[in-house]
Amino acid sequence: MERFSLGDAAELAGDVGPDPRLIGVVAELDRPIELDALRALIAERLPDQPILARRVVRDGPATWKACWETVELRVEDHVYEVPTSDPLRTATDLVSTDFGHRVPAWRLILLRGPQTSALLFAAHHVLLDGATAVGVVGSLLGADLTVPMPPARRRRFLGFLGLLAGANAGVAKTSLLTPITAGFRLATVDAPLAPVQAAARRCGATVNDALLLAAAEALRAVAAARGEQLGRVVFSVPVTGQAHPGRQVGRNEVAAMAVAIPDPAGRDDAAQLVRIAGRTRWRKLLAHGFPSAGAFAGVLALLGRLGWYRPLFSRQRAITSLLTNLRGPAEPLNLLGAEVTSLTALSPALGNVTVVFAAVSYAGTLRITARLDRSVWPEQDVLTSTLANSLDRLAGSAGSPQRTRTR
């Protein structure tokens, strides 16, 4: 048995519904593959990912008392087939269902229909954080997608300074912050990666900064469609944690930084990107230079034990949305003779945050997925069209004639 880290305890404490805290990725295939062949291949590759053999064992309501138990895996428990005519919708339904912890909380599900085939990898957030999940999925699909982690800094006594990375003045009242309900919908927007990256770099910014700009514009458009004026938009953005010698990856050593995107007030995209890049740069320095994930995780675990986690986050006014950006393979993947044509990232929601963004790059395409609570379904087209138009402008400023695609 291995005791939980504080990061693990915080993630398990946050599993308070209404949907389970599952993360995942959908890999669309250009042709069908056979379940028996998939199981055989995964059985060969599982020894390279011992993290997938860990099962949660609870010891009372306090999540910090939970432990990891390493068990022998049965491939049949984790790799199976579900018939479908719409892989993305089926994937949405599947990650709305709790896996439980009888066996390690991950699944690789073959979604097969008469005209379509896809793979859904999903795992409980306590088992894998987003960055670690990228490496695990890559290993199972035959690619090395290990995410480099910054070395640990010996400044733990100043860890409280890292909390400043997540500090902000809060957000104004908006209908976008309303307690989420069970069930959700996914909407995706595809953009060419290279021109978006080029446009960002010209301003000293990153792709993540460009996504923040586009996502903020999309949320303002949804608010405007409701007759609201949304000026300042605040995103919670995960920051990869510190690497510790001898420490197994996947330990939820992830901090969060709050990035406020102010009202553009007539500024063009370039001026906004410069401004956003400046804000994200110093917050990353705080999060990496003064690791505070442990302190913050301890607070979250205590909130869960007291039963305050869901009531508190259902009323929070610190952030407007969450945004995660993952770097996928630069070249197309092949699995059992089938080519992976796209990747779609799935991310959990929190409290009263009705729109959550998750992006992943793959083979030159940047796919942004918006997880929409039922309250936002009427404005889905407004959100996706605005997001696409914003990314089109950025790509166009780099001289790209390509257009984004929505789904």
Output the domain CATH number for residue 378: 3.30.559.30
Split at pLDDT 50, 70, 90, the class of 299 is: confident
Mean pLDDT for 34-44 is 95
Is the confidence at residue 354, as pLDDT, over 70? yes
Identify whether residues 200 and 337 lie together within a single domain.
Answer: yes
Identify whether residues 226 and 115 lie together within a single domain.
Answer: no
State residue 158's pLDDT score: 46
For the ranges 127-141, 240-254, 282-296, 331-345, the one whose mean pLDDT is highest: 331-345
- In-domain check, residue 146: no
Identify whether residues 170 and 287 lie together within a single domain.
Answer: yes
State residue 254's pLDDT score: 62
Tokens (6 digits) for 2: 């291995």
- In-domain check, residue 183: yes
State residue 246's pLDDT score: 42
Answer with the one of 83, 110, 141 that is the final residue of a domain.
141
Answer with the one of 115, 141, 167 that is the final residue of a domain.
141
Split at pLDDT 50, 70, 90, the class of 382 is: very high
- In-domain check, residue 310: yes
pTM: 0.90
The helix (H) or strand (E) run that includes residue 117 is strand 117-124
Mean pLDDT for 63-89 is 94
State residue 403's pLDDT score: 57
Question: What is the residue range of 326's domain?
Answer: 156-406
DSSP 98: -
Residue carrying structure tokens 């669309």: 28
Identify whether residues 131 and 207 lie together within a single domain.
Answer: no
Q: 33-50 burial string, b = 16+ CB within 10 Å, else e?
A: beeeebbebbeeebeebe
The amino acid occupying position 55 is R
Across all residues in the chain, what is the average pLDDT?
86
Identify whether residues 219 and 81 lie together within a single domain.
Answer: no
State residue 304's pLDDT score: 85
- In-domain check, residue 148: no
- The region of weakest confidence among 25-34, 35-44, 262-271 is 262-271
Domain count, the chain: 2
Identify whether residues 90 and 184 lie together within a single domain.
Answer: no
- In-domain check, residue 150: no
Residue carrying structure tokens 């404490």: 13
State residue 59's pLDDT score: 87
State residue 150's pLDDT score: 52
Identify whether residues 31 and 60 lie together within a single domain.
Answer: yes
Give dist(CA 70, CA 63) in Å, integer: 18
Cβ atoms of residues 175 and 228 within 8 Å: yes
Identify whether residues 127 and 250 lie together within a single domain.
Answer: no
Identify whether residues 50 and 160 lie together within a single domain.
Answer: no
Is the confidence at residue 362, as pLDDT, over 70? yes
Answer with the one of 106, 141, 176 that is the final residue of a domain.
141
Share of the chain above pLDDT 90, in %: 59
Identify whether residues 186 and 162 lie together within a single domain.
Answer: yes
Residue 151: asked if its preceding bond is cis (omega within 30°), the reply is: no
- In-domain check, residue 329: yes
Identify whether residues 122 and 179 lie together within a single domain.
Answer: no
CATH assignment at residue 108: 3.30.559.10
- In-domain check, residue 147: no
Q: Looking at per-residue confidence, does 129 or 179 come out higher?
A: 179
Is the confidence at residue 154, as pLDDT, over 50? no
State residue 267's pLDDT score: 85
State residue 147's pLDDT score: 55
Identify whether residues 236 and 290 lie together within a single domain.
Answer: yes
- In-domain check, residue 9: yes
